[in-house]
Amino acid sequence: MTLWSRLWTLTCVFLAAWMFAPLFPAATGAAQAQETPATAPAAAASLRAGFARTDLTPTVGMEIPGGFNKNFSTGVHDPLWAEAAYFSNGTVTLALVGVDLITVTEEMVQEARAQAEARCGIPAANILIGASHTHNGGPVDSCYHVERDDAYCMFAAGRIADAVVKASEAAVAARVGYGLGQESGVGYNRRFRMKDGTIRTHPGKMNPDIVAPAGPIDPDVAVIAAEDVEGRLLGCIVNFALHGTTMSGNLLSADWPFYLRETVRGGLGSDIGVVFLNGACGDVTQVDNLNPRPGEFGEAWARRAGMSVGAVALNVLAKMEFVPDAPLGVTSETLALPIRDLGNSDEELVRREAPGIGLGTGDDIYLKEAALVRAMKAQSPTVAVEVQAMRIGDAGIASNPAEFFCELGLAVKRGSPWKPTMVVELANGCCGYVGTSESYLGGGYEVRTSRCSYLPAGSGEQIANASARLLCQLAGE
């Protein structure tokens, strides 16, 4: 081959390499990416997540709310916690806090949100604070003969803010997952239709006058979880609808959610964050009135409920698939709902609601409560009710401050575009029991006028409709 021929050949090879060069680096780059898969999710992940908890156990000797009479704590069965989950994608930041208390007051929520926003920059409106509804918690509620302790409420608000700030400081690049399981053997509707046409709450085990339960249960165990980019689980949020009334007695306790968290952490062998948010359990407890066994109270029943729900949550976590890119969203609406018609006198009101027997208490306490609600209405005829909605990836969360009936929570889920959807009651305040419109016609403890129940029939449907509407708005973003 002549020198000229060799030069021509080399020139052709060079030109071919130059012309087709764009095709080859892509293939080479793909091969490199396959060789180092652990680094790929880190580059793709824009989401950050963190979990933290703070102790808000009150001083022994303070009141324990949740009953008709005063009950002062004599010790601690297990500490009370504020457990926080924090998520941020650079555009939206939000936090969810599960609190081991029977309720949270609006003043507590405002204080905790303001402190958290000032300290870590998260918008106050983007924080959800939900009470677990333990009946063995600190003195934050005033109803019947029990009164809240304002100093403790502010202490708890500070600890809630601490949890949010610590979760934000712990945040790392993360992936999220969500899933749904079911547990149908620990919760029972406590309201029953009776042969005389009334509805009674806890009419007594095997009462021969029981016709049928007056409402459903919700077996859903919804879970949202986050892991770091190396696959280590950071924490999870668990939502299930069940009253915190198993433990009873005078020891401070988170009730059955304590055993839920112990089960999840024990099963994983890791001290991860476990944020519990209670579902629509206004009429759902652990007591099975259609079963002749002794009453389902005490540590053994708390363990049974917590372990059962925790086992389902573990199963959901075991099958969960995580994604690095999860859109976040939050919105809210404040409803101005009226205080119900209180009649012309307290005596008239109590007589009108007299069929609402079921928890073994007389009318005297309701005369006292009716007068207090009448004073509330004189001060303000309407109540501000915050309805909040969030999305984390494909999971939706709808919260409200009511002790929300289960049927209403199921209605929110039916109207939601998200799977799963968590319905969270007693969040961002407390506006008492809120049932379906029908529930106000037959009676029962939950609808009798008191500082624990003062909104009118129809309020539940308004809250449910607002919740579903906000969830749909988030889907349209």
Question: pLDDT per residue over 235-276, tens digit each?
Answer: 999 999 999 999 999 999 999 999 999 999 999 999 999 999
Cβ atoms of residues 238 and 305 within 8 Å: no
Q: What is the structure's pLDDT at 352?
A: 87
Cβ atoms of residues 200 and 442 within 8 Å: no
CB under 8 Å to 281, separation ≥6 — which residues? 133, 187, 218, 241, 242, 243, 403, 404, 406, 425
For residue 36, being part of any structural domain is answered with no
For residue 361, being part of any structural domain is answered with no
For residue 226, being part of any structural domain is answered with yes
Of residues 298 and 45, the one with the higher pLDDT is 298
**Predicted structure pTM score:** 0.89
For residue 37, being part of any structural domain is answered with no
For residue 344, being part of any structural domain is answered with no
For residue 4, being part of any structural domain is answered with no
How far from 282 is each of 6, 27, 97, CA to CA, in Å? 89, 59, 20
Bridge pairing between strands 48-55 and 284-285: unpaired
Q: Is 477 exposed, middle or buried (0-12, 13-18, 19+ CB in 10 A)?
A: exposed
For 124-169, write each residue's pLDDT tens digit. 999 999 999 999 999 999 999 899 999 999 999 999 999 999 999 9
Query: pLDDT category, 353, cuts 50, 70, 90?
Result: confident
For 11-40, write each residue's pLDDT tens digit. 333 333 333 333 222 322 222 222 223 333
For residue 346, being part of any structural domain is answered with no
Q: What is the structure's pLDDT at 407?
A: 98
User: What is the Cβ-side half-sphere exposure of residue 91, based on CA atoms within 13 angstroms?
Assistant: 7
Q: In the chain, how many domains are there?
A: 1
Number of H helices, E strands in the chain: 12, 21
Q: What is the structure's pLDDT at 25?
A: 29
Largest Cα separation within the chain, whole Å, is: 119
For 196-221, write each residue's pLDDT tens digit. 988 999 999 999 999 999 999 999 99
What percent of the chain lies above the pLDDT cut of 90?
83
375-397: burial string, b at 16+ Cβ within 10 Å, e else? eebeeeeebebbbbbbbbbbbbb
59 pLDDT above the threshold of 60: yes
Q: What is the structure's pLDDT at 12?
A: 38
Q: What is the structure's pLDDT at 390?
A: 98
1 pLDDT above the threshold of 50: no
Cβ atoms of residues 254 and 245 within 8 Å: no
For residue 369, being part of any structural domain is answered with no
What domain range is 130 assigned to? Answer: 44-334+378-475
CB under 8 Å to 117, separation ≥6 — which residues? 123, 124, 127
